[in-house]
Amino acid sequence: MFRAVAVIALLASSTFALPQSPGQAYTGTAGNTTVAGDSSGPDSNGKYVIEGEGIRAYFIAYGASISNLFLNDTSGIERDVVAGFDNASYYEVDRQHPHFGGVPGRYANRIKNSSFVIDGETYNITPNENPTPDNPQGLDTLHGGPDGWDWRNWTVVAHTKDSITFSLTDPDGKEGFPGEVVSYVTYTLGNMTWDMRMVALATTKVTPIMLSSHTYWNLDGFANNETATALNHSLWLPYGGQRIDTDPILIPTGDILANQPGSLNDFYTTPKQIGANFSNPDLLGNCGNNCTGYDTCYLTNRIAPYDWTAGETPVARLRSAWSGIQVDVFTDQDAFQIYSCGGQNGSMALKSTQGLHGVEDRPRTIQQYGCVVMEVEDWIDAINQPAWGRQEKQIFGPGDEPYVLRASYRFSTNETAVGLLGVGSG
Ligand SMILES: *[C@@H]1O[C@H](CO)[C@@H](O)[C@H](O)[C@H]1NC(C)=O
Ligand SMILES: *[C@@H]1O[C@H](CO)[C@@H](O)[C@H](O)[C@H]1NC(C)=O
Ligand SMILES: *[C@@H]1O[C@H](CO)[C@@H](O)[C@H](O)[C@H]1NC(C)=O
Ligand SMILES: *[C@@H]1O[C@H](CO)[C@@H](O)[C@H](O)[C@H]1NC(C)=O
Ligand SMILES: *[C@@H]1O[C@H](CO)[C@@H](O)[C@H](O)[C@H]1NC(C)=O
Ligand SMILES: *[C@@H]1O[C@H](CO)[C@@H](O)[C@H](O)[C@H]1NC(C)=O
Ligand SMILES: *[C@@H]1O[C@H](CO)[C@@H](O)[C@H](O)[C@H]1NC(C)=O
Ligand SMILES: *[C@@H]1O[C@H](CO)[C@@H](O)[C@H](O)[C@H]1NC(C)=O
Ligand SMILES: *[C@@H]1O[C@H](CO)[C@@H](O)[C@H](O)[C@H]1NC(C)=O
Ligand SMILES: *[C@@H]1O[C@H](CO)[C@@H](O)[C@H](O)[C@H]1NC(C)=O
Ligand SMILES: *[C@@H]1O[C@H](CO)[C@@H](O)[C@H](O)[C@H]1NC(C)=O
Ligand SMILES: *[C@@H]1O[C@H](CO)[C@@H](O)[C@H](O)[C@H]1NC(C)=O
């Protein structure tokens, strides 16, 4: 029997060296944890800071979200490379809710027709996307429903100098899902690394579980003085030879497609700038109805069991030649979503730590294509595609092994200049 107490102990254990972090009255001791509300609790913006070598991040209880991630670029200038808001209270106030940096759950991405079948029983969950006159709430469920996990305040159960653990108990029947799910998410910073571990336990009934981290990246800290977009970021998906086919509202059709070398969706044969193919009219509709760009679930098939922790090729590398900041993503997950922020329209405020200050002709908002979302995940909507055989990865009951997601984001600075045609560079 898997005990939640054991999970906390497992997740919270951490080693670090004092001294205290700047501007923070940190009082914990090595190997011990502190809880929300004490002196290591949130700052005046409702944020919890943790630090590693060359990296500093802020998290908020809302959605167990990352709100700031600071790294130095090749010029030694600090860049805040994730989208978010200046304070924790604003996340609930903003109604556009782009799932900024949080943990979508209990089932990330879309669920076809807001329903699924387990053991012959049909479950209808709450729709929240693509409303029509006949279906005013929507045709499908995105990221766990209208009150999914990244719309709720999690509990901070542990906070050390270099790690933070959040917990959420999702009650039986919430958003229509069967059974209670108890989840723990731990983020840890190391030497230019951000590691995450997500655990979820189905405590009372059999239910689908699929989590992710929904972080919006701009590796220039939205401060690139030549472009407001992230289209010059180069992306490499070394295992991304296949993708899940989707319909115009991004629901999987059941087909798995090959990404032909040189095609729009090929990021595996060589790194390519996100915007490399934006002049190709065929890119219109590639991320759903009237959307140009990517909102695509790539498979990251490797030969299991694979050791994702050491030496292996990352499932993704994102890099901006302007800042030189590069991130390599390692994960135990079998799929990886790329969203090129086609839905941004300049209405989302930048943080005070981002953007160009003192330049009047650049609005302090996120422009269309101004960011890239990268989501470690399992095959999307596999609960409605039994032929894919993903049940063991996505359906959990009491007494089962827990759902586990692990990922490691490893940062570096890479001074390679941008090259011709955006291939092998950027
Ligand atoms: C944790 O704190 C307790 C009480 O302050 C102390 O006795 C113990 O040695 C600490 N453990 C570690 C690993 O530092
Ligand atoms: C960036 O470099 C400065 C100067 O060396 C240093 O004080 C700061 O901590 C660095 N930032 C990060 C996030 O490591
Ligand atoms: C929180 O941030 C938002 C957006 O930047 C800002 O409008 C609001 O005034 C801030 N609220 C507080 C309490 O600081
Ligand atoms: C969630 O946390 C934010 C920031 O601390 C706070 O403003 C808000 O009231 C909280 N919401 C709930 C439902 O507790
Ligand atoms: C921008 O997008 C947001 C969120 O989808 C929407 O609420 C808003 O109306 C849009 N604004 C414009 C000008 O299209
Ligand atoms: C969609 O869900 C509704 C409500 O459960 C059900 O009546 C309908 O048959 C489903 N449609 C499809 C195509 O599965
Ligand atoms: C961090 O990693 C770099 C490069 O791998 C290494 O040179 C450096 O010594 C490490 N720093 C610490 C404190 O371990
Ligand atoms: C753009 O930013 C770079 C890097 O900070 C700087 O070297 C360059 O002078 C800036 N260019 C302009 C036109 O401001
Ligand atoms: C996509 O862009 C790459 C790099 O510029 C180019 O080699 C390739 O031919 C383009 N593919 C299509 C289908 O436009
Ligand atoms: C399609 O998108 C473009 C720009 O993104 C927008 O101007 C246009 O109104 C959209 N058309 C429809 C039919 O939604
Ligand atoms: C964007 O990349 C192109 C090559 O594809 C390069 O010519 C251009 O200078 C880059 N712009 C910026 C702002 O990095
Ligand atoms: C730096 O970026 C270049 C261009 O994308 C790439 O070829 C090279 O492998 C990267 N270097 C490292 C150490 O990751």
Instruction: Give the residue-averaged pLDDT of 214-234.
Output: 97
Of the two residues 302 and 286, the one the predictor is more confident about is 286
Q: Kindly state if the Cβ of 307 falls inside 6 Å of ligand 7.
A: no
pLDDT in tens, 267-276: 999 999 999 9
pLDDT one-digit tens code per residue, 36-72: 334 478 999 999 999 999 999 999 999 999 999 999 9
User: For all residues of the chain together, what is the average pLDDT?
Assistant: 89
Report whether residue 416 contacts ligand 7, using a CB cutoff of 6 Å: no
Is 360 within a domain? yes
Q: Give mean pLDDT, residues 367-372.
A: 98
In a domain, 24, yes or no: yes
The answer to the question of residue 426 being in a domain is no
Burial of 92 (0-12, 13-18, 19+ CB in 10 A): middle
CB 331 within 8 A of CB 406: yes
143 included as an active-site residue: no
Q: Could you tell me if residue 294 is inside a domain?
A: yes
pLDDT at 20 over 60: no
pLDDT at 310: 64
Cβ-based burial of 290 (10 A; exposed 0-12, middle 13-18, buried ≥19): exposed
Instruction: Report which of 414, 404, 420, 349 is spatially closest to residue 186, judged by C-alpha positions.
Output: 404
CATH code of the domain covering residue 53: 2.70.98.10
What pLDDT digit, counting tens, does each position of 302-326 carry?
887 777 776 789 999 999 999 999 9
Rounded average pLDDT over 176-193 = 98
- Answer yes or no: is 317 within a domain: yes
pLDDT, residue 417, reads 74
Counting other chains too, the contacts that 76-81 makes at CB distance below 8 Å and 24 or more residues apart are 78/221, 79/219, 79/220, 79/221, 79/223, 79/323, 79/325, 80/221, 80/351, 80/353, 80/354, 81/217, 81/218, 81/219, 81/220, 81/221, 81/325
Domain extent for 62? 2-421
Q: Measured in angstroms, how far is the CA atom of residue 376 from the centroid of ligand 3? A: 30
CA-closest residue to ligand 5 atom 7? 96
> Is pLDDT above 80 for 29?
no
**14-18, 183-187, 398-402, 420-424: range with lowest mean pLDDT:** 14-18
pTM of the model: 0.89
Name the domain count of the chain.
Answer: 1
Q: Which of 129, 175, 375, 377 is catalytic?
A: 375
Q: Is residue 164 part of a domain?
A: yes
Nearest bound ligand to the CA of residue 12 = 1
The amino acid occupying position 349 is A
247 falls within a domain? yes
Output the pLDDT for position 418: 64
Least confident of 24-28, 90-94, 245-249, 402-406: 24-28
